[in-house]
């Protein structure tokens, strides 16, 4: 197929296919270090309370990158923004490896901040799938790209052990092996999206909307003005941010909670794999439900599932247990329900002229909320224990339900013209 001569429907299929491959490879790069990030931070800092700092720095990096990538995409399209995110993430992985070699906590934090750029690129990719989608299949298109993350996300944590063995061969610390392999995945993702995402779906969408040749510079309205005119976006972004805060704050401290009970790195990796399976594997079904039953009911369901998962986590003893397996799996499912539905609501309610601005702002708020939760999670677990962390996270889960109620009242209003 000649991309330049393809119909919008054909371009949409090509875009989604490209993003599926990119997400699979990029997710492997970003998730392979989940099970060891907190352990490496604890080793370099010498403190359980600082074990969550690596994940916190990564989430803050994703928040900062959300603005940078949104600006690039607004001016130059999705392709260059995604490439930039994956390349910055690969550089971050290299710095994390160096941090382990020289035993430097500040270098670990710097590398984690850059690593967050890949997280931001992965989040932006889900929105790229909706640029040329119709109203009837927007949720499905977004969810298919989210689902593709399953391939790399489930495989990644299970490569923790082999990557650690490879680190021995390379002469680097075992806990840095996953990050070395992650850098390779991110470079491959950058190559795929850089060569395959042509023509750019966002620029084509602008062309179709305006009836003119796509431009590389678009004057977008201010985010605050868009949110004031379309308050349903505030509710959607709130639900999105709260769900992400729940997931990150509990997930980042789970390896430490399990290690305290003498769970092996292999078992910890399996639990994290089950968690990310819940996050991504059922996304297509979530997207179908969102298209058929509406974004708001699915968002509310996500809030309920998150609360159930937190109850199980609060009951989980240290080490390996049925409660932690079930709790982390449902934590992923609840996140998927809330994230797919809220993201689809953001994509369809934002005007095209401010699309990347709103989406970048949504991801900024989402990651800042998660960074706050992650920062407090280490202190809470260190002082009060893992069950207290589950109780803290339940406040965010309740916010998801409140956001769904508000969105139900606001979404009935037809969106203003772009």
363 close to 66: Cβ distance less than 8 angstroms: yes
Give the residue among 418, 344, 299, 334 at the shortest CA–CA distance from 137.
344
Alpha-helical runs (H) found in 316-354: 322-349
The three-class DSSP label of residue 416 is coil
Angle subtended at Cα 371 by Cα 368 and Cα 372, rounded to the nearest 5 degrees: 90
Rounded Cα distance between 164 and 179, Å, is 10
The confidence band for 4, taking pLDDT boundaries of 50, 70 and 90, is low
349 close to 362: Cβ distance less than 8 angstroms: no
The confidence band for 217, taking pLDDT boundaries of 50, 70 and 90, is very low
Q: Record the tokens describing residue 219, joined without a space.
A: 């004057």
pTM of the model: 0.77
Rounded Cα distance between 288 and 283, Å, is 9
Residue 2 vs residue 117, higher pLDDT: 117
The confidence band for 415, taking pLDDT boundaries of 50, 70 and 90, is very low
- 1 pLDDT higher than 70: no
51 close to 39: Cβ distance less than 8 angstroms: yes
105 close to 41: Cβ distance less than 8 angstroms: yes
pLDDT of 38-79, one tens digit each? 788 888 887 776 776 777 788 788 888 988 998 899 888 999
Write the burial class of residue 225 (CB in 10 Å: 0-12 exposed, 13-18 middle, 19+ buried): exposed
Q: Record the tokens describing residue 377, joined without a space.
A: 């999670």
Write the burial class of residue 369 (CB in 10 Å: 0-12 exposed, 13-18 middle, 19+ buried): buried
pLDDT of 288-330, one tens digit each? 999 889 899 999 999 999 999 999 999 988 888 888 999 999 9
99 close to 44: Cβ distance less than 8 angstroms: yes
Residue 2 vs residue 228, higher pLDDT: 228
What is the per-residue pLDDT for 88? 95
For the chain, give the percent of residues with pLDDT over 90.
36
Rounded Cα distance between 201 and 379, Å, is 43
- CA torsion sign, 408 to 410 to 411 to 414? positive
pLDDT of 98-124, one tens digit each? 999 999 999 999 998 998 899 889 888
348 close to 414: Cβ distance less than 8 angstroms: no
Task: Name the fold adopted by 3-410.
Answer: Growth Hormone; Chain: A; (1.20.1250)
308 alpha-carbon distance from chain centroid: 21
Give the residue among 401, 381, 399, 397 at the shortest CA–CA distance from 389.
381
């Amino acid at each position: 197929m000649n991309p330049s001569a393809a119909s919008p429907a054909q371009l949409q299929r090509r875009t989604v296919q490209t993003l599926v491959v990119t997400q699979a490879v990029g997710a492997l790069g970003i998730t392979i270090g989940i099970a060891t990030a907190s352990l490496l931070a604890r080793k370099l800092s010498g403190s359980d309370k600082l074990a969550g700092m690596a994940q916190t720095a990564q989430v803050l990096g994703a928040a900062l990158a959300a603005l940078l990538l949104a600006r690039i995409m607004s001016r130059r399209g999705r392709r260059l923004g995604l490439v930039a995110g994956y390349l910055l993430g690969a550089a971050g992985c290299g710095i994390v490896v160096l941090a382990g070699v020289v035993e430097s906590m500040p270098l670990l934090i710097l590398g984690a901040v850059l690593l967050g750029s890949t997280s931001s690129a992965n989040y932006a990719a889900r929105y790229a799938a909706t640029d040329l989608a119709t109203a009837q299949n927007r949720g499905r298109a977004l969810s298919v790209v989210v689902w593709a993350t399953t391939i790399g996300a489930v495989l990644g944590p299970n490569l923790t052990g082999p990557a650690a063995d490879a680190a021995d061969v390379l002469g680097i610390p075992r806990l840095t092996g996953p990050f070395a392999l992650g850098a390779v995945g991110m470079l491959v993702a950058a190559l795929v999206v850089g060569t395959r995402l042509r023509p750019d779906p966002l620029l084509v969408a602008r062309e179709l909307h305006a009836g003119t040749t796509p431009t590389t510079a678009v004057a977008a309205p201010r985010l605050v003005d868009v949110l004031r005119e379309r308050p349903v976006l505030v509710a959607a972004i709130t639900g999105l941010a709260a769900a992400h805060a729940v997931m990150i704050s509990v997930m980042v401290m789970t390896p430490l909670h399990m290690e305290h009970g003498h769970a092996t790195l292999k078992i910890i990796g399996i639990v994290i794999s089950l968690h990310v399976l819940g996050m991504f594997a059922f996304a297509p079904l979530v997207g179908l439900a969102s298209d058929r039953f509406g974004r708001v009911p699915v968002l509310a369901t996500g809030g309920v599932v998150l609360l159930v998962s937190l109850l199980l986590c609060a009951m989980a003893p240290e080490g390996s247990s049925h409660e932690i397996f079930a709790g982390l799996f449902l934590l992923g499912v609840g996140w998927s329900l809330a994230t797919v539905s809220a993201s689809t609501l953001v994509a369809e309610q934002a005007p095209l002229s401010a699309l990347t601005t709103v989406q970048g702002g949504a991801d900024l708020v989402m990651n800042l909320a998660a960074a706050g939760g992650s920062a407090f999670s280490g202190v809470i677990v260190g002082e009060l224990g893992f069950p207290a962390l589950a109780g803290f996270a339940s406040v965010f889960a309740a916010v998801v339900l409140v956001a769904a109620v508000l969105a139900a009242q606001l979404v009935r209003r037809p969106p203003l013209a772009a």
